[in-house]
Amino acid sequence: MLTADNLNNQNGVVSGQQGVQLNLGQLNNSGAGSVYAKNTLGLTLTGASNNDQGVLRSDGTLDLKAASLANTGG
């Protein structure tokens, strides 16, 4: 579990071999950023998620709660 105001994962990788839970204010996962969970991927954002050209992937369940989502090319 990661809790933070903002996460800039632009062109980066966040992954877990089990479940991944991110509790954030905002997420920038653009420009080939990747967030992956082998099991459940939980994303709870009080603000915006920018996933333009990024990947949100789970081999299990993907649970996304966000005020807004930009997903062009994602």
Give per-residue pLDDT as tens, 26-51. Answer: 999 999 999 999 999 999 999 999 99
Alpha-carbon torsion (43, 8, 67, 23), positive or negative: positive
Q: How confident is the model at residue 74 (pLDDT cuts 50, 70, 90)?
A: confident
User: Which residue bears the tokens 């789970």?
Assistant: 58
Q: Residue 63 and residue 22: Cα distance in Å, rounded?
A: 10
Averaged pLDDT of the chain: 96
Alpha-carbon torsion (13, 47, 71, 38), positive or negative: positive
What single-letter DSSP state applies at residue 29? Answer: -
CB-based contact 8:31 (threshold 8 Å): no
Specify the pTM.
0.92
